[in-house]
A and B are shown apart, each in its own frame.
Chain A
Amino acid sequence: MAEPTEAAKQAQMGSTQWDRIANSRKFQDLMATKKMFIVPAFVFFVVYYFALPVLVGYAPNFMATRVWGVVNIAYLFALSQFFVAWIIAALYVRAANDFDRLSKDIIEDSENGGGK
């Protein structure tokens, strides 16, 4: 049940055209820009997140240290995870505006180049 638009596009662009786009400088730029944000962001949040169960599991006394009244490091660290997740999401949305701009450029190029 392929839609006509998709089928038409498929026919229009042979596999060589996909290769041409994939090897173009603009697409390489897009991938480099994406990697520059996504890889460090992913590594950071995975490390920050797993620090919580690792510390809770292997350093329970340290985590039980009270820092504000009865509130301990464990609770504050857990709570901080929410804010860190939100901040990374917000930064990603900002960075992704660049991805969208670069993608739009690539799509327009391909439509002008391959269209009739």
Chain B
Amino acid sequence: MSHSLIMFLLFIAITLGITYWASKRSAGANAYFAAGRQIKGWQNGIAVAGDYMSAASFLGIAGIIAFQGYDGFMFSVGWLVAYLTVLLVVAEPLRNAGKYTMADVLAYRLHPRPVRAMASLSTLIVSTFYMIAQMVGAGALVALLLKDSGISYQTAVIGVGILMIVYVVFGGMLATTWVQIVKAILLMGGTILLSILVLGHFGFSFSNFFNAIANVSFHDKTGQLVTKDFLTPGLRFKPPYGALDLISLGVALIFGTAGLPHILVRFYTVPDARTARNSVVWAMVLIGAFYIMTTFLGFGAATIVGPDFIKTHGGTNMSAPLLAQALAGNLFFAFISAIAFATILAVVAGLTISASTSFAHDFWTNVIHRGTERKPGEEVRVARVAAFVVGAAAITVAIVLGPTANVAFLVALAFAVAASANFPVIVLSIFWRRFNTAGAVTGLTVGLLSSLALIVISPSFMGIDPPTVSAAARHLIQAKPIFPLENPGIISVPFSFLAAIVATLMSKEPTAEEKFNELLVRSNTGLGAEKATAH
């Protein structure tokens, strides 16, 4: 399997080259945090797609569809449609009225310190949880793919972590953007090739393909050979709570995406709101095409490789690479594996830069030092240190948790927190004149705490495992779940909106209302918006 190693090294070499090139162009805060706001619409669109199509979607979704058929495809649908919220509601106002982070818009007419402190905390929580999930996945994947080269889980995690730190610390937003672009193009290319090969396997006949999907045989939990129609819903979301869980997942996806900090910061890298809008459309074309093709990846793996074989050869996450191996041999397996590796690296880099930007800009400069930079360049220096600390922390946690840790809930948590904490306050501060600091702080706090609490008492955290389950993969609390849904969105999103509205109505803040016209004009017209840095 040395092919894999060669392709991994090739990708690392290319991205380090990009980082070196970007490091010479990353002087100054605008350049470091926002790539000088000179990224073109199509470039940012590809980068948004790259940021979004994580290992969870490439490897995870193929696996979920390969094992749970249609219900897995429901994730694909939500992941694309969510961009309509980004397009219609947040992208342009954010670009028009903000500078580097989501909190810029929230703090605009409210008391900046409490609002930024909470928004920064929420950003750090979403980003680090998401990152840890990716790192654990990355370590397990790299160790599995490169096991013949003698690379262990620990080495893999440290390697991925160091690379992501290097991209962000030295190359800033510019390097991160181009790493995303390279990765997104590789991912699209690999997915298209794989889809063509799957169709070719069925003689380019859709009816042969769908007939195979309708008759997938595998051994179920009790060891019995069963044949299921994978196009029929119900393999994952089962009664009595399946229907509600499905709707709750929808709420988290549709509103959570518009609150994901690492996606939102991307809109500051383009020259103006019009370009931000075009970049969302570019992203939607790529993301939509990709998730439609998950039909071929997931159902292809189910029909050509089969759930039984995947289960004994690395598990659900290996569905796409195993499909590549079955269709075109070891070299293609190595290529698809390298793409998965690139995907993880690029996503963790995107998460690191959004976390460190928020720490430096929101917390350090604006909360601790009340908006004044004591020395020129301090904000960027703090961000570089923060990127290093965030990266080192993620490496440590991922190693402590180990490769078999049950971390899937961390991604669900990231979306739930984004939807419940970030989305309501962004919407209310842009659209509601009466909204004030008390409402924003309450909304952020309630959204954060309610989604955390509901996840802790949900089936992702609680469950009774049979003794055969390994220690690391066990549920953290061995008891019957108190909250029956895996996703808290259906409760926590309305709850947080309500809390923000009630807290607002209970207090008066005339300055927030007075400044609303300014925010309204700025966010809708782009008057006085941050300009691209001239060369």
Contacts and interface: CB of A to CB of B under 8 A. Distances in A.
A49 to B, nearest CB: 5
A106 B254 contact: no
B84 A88 contact: yes
Contacts of A103: 524-527
B246 A53 contact: yes
B530 A6 contact: yes
A102 B400 CA distance: 56
Interface in B479-535: 514-515, 517-518, 520-521, 524-528, 530-531
A19 to B, nearest CB: 5
Interface in B66-90: 70, 73-74, 76-78, 80-81, 83-85, 87-89
Contact of A81 (B29, B77, B285, B526): B77
Interface stretch (B151-159, B230-238, B301-309): B230-238
Interface residues of B, number: 60
A58 to B, nearest CB: 6
A57 B521 contact: no
B210 A27 contact: no
Contacts, number: 153
A98 interface: no
B292 A79 contact: yes
Given A69-B210, A74-B232, A89 B521 contact: no
Contact of B517 (A22, A72, A75): A22
B207 A69 contact: yes
A50 B250 contact: yes
Contacts of B233: 56, 60, 63-64, 74
A38 B430 CA distance: 14
A9 to B, nearest CB: 5
Contacts of A38: 88-89
Contacts of A64: 232-233
B292 A93 contact: no
A85 B82 CA distance: 9
A89 B280 CA distance: 9
Chain A interface: which size bin? 35 or more
Interface in B228-255: 229, 231-234, 237, 242-244, 246-247, 249-250, 254
Contacts of B528: 6, 9-10, 13
B213 A70 contact: yes
A42 B88 contact: yes
Given A18-B517, A30-B524, A70 B211 contact: yes
B277 A81 contact: no
B486 to A, nearest CB: 13
Interface string A50-79: 101110111010011000011110110011
B83, B281, B514, most chain A CB atoms within 10 A: B281
Contacts of A9: 528
Contact of B247 (A27, A53, A75, A81): A53
5 contacts: A9-B528, A69-B207, A78-B77, A82-B291, A96-B277
